């Protein structure tokens, strides 16, 4: 008894899967004006739309979308199928949530750095007997330091 080479097995499985899926693609003679594709076929065609597109590039007889369909229900099924594969718009929301979290973390870091710099500046100024600064002057210095730090951190981050 000979063992089946796993490389050939994988190729056979992929080719078999592609043939099975292509047998159920949109645009074949199975559907006519008398027997149009409905919701469930729309769902299936949406699920296999990427495979249909790849096959369509090499074979013009295979379509991504069935032209003989029931209309709204087929379209609805097709969209549900596509969304189930591609994930709808959740990727955008996830990325924006990550971006908001990152901005929040940077704001916290910036605030900590600003407070630490202000403490060190106050200690440094208190050690110098010649100058005493008012709270308003400290606020002005704090604003300048904050602006400069934000600019430098942004420049540093954009270099990467």
CB within 8 A of 153, min separation 6: which ones?
106, 110
Neighbours of 35 (CB within 10 A): 9
Distance CA 140, CA 134 (A): 10
Q: φ, ψ for residue 149 (rounded to 5)?
A: -60, -45
Please tell me whether the overall predicted TM-score, pTM, comes out greater than 0.85 for this model. no
Q: What is the pLDDT, as a whole number, of residue 80? A: 92
DSSP conformation class of 24: T
Per-residue model confidence as pLDDT tens for the chain (160 residues): 455 566 778 888 877 776 666 666 666 667 788 888 889 988 988 888 888 888 888 888 778 888 888 889 999 999 999 888 877 665 556 667 777 888 888 888 878 887 887 787 777 767 665 556 677 777 887 788 888 888 888 888 777 5
Q: What is the pLDDT, as a whole number, of residue 77? A: 92
Nearest to 66, CA basis, from 42, 89, 35: 42
Domain boundaries, the chain: 6-86, 94-159
């Amino acid at each position: 008894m000979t063992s089946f080479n796993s490389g050939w097995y994988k190729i056979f499985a992929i080719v078999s899967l592609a043939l099975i899926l292509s047998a159920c693609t949109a645009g074949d003679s199975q559907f006519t004006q008398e027997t149009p594709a409905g919701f469930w076929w729309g769902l299936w065609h949406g699920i296999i739309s990427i495979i249909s597109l790849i096959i369509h590039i090499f074979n013009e007889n295979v379509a991504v979308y069935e032209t003989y369909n029931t209309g709204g229900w087929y379209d609805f099924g097709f969209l549900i199928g596509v969304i189930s594969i591609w994930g709808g718009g959740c990727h955008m929301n996830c990325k924006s949530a990550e971006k908001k979290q990152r901005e929040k973390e940077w704001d916290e870091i910036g605030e900590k750095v600003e407070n630490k710099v202000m403490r060190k500046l106050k200690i440094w100024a208190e050690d110098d007997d010649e100058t005493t600064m008012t709270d308003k002057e400290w606020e002005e210095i704090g604003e300048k330091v904050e602006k400069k730090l934000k600019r430098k951190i942004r420049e540093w981050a954009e270099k990467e």
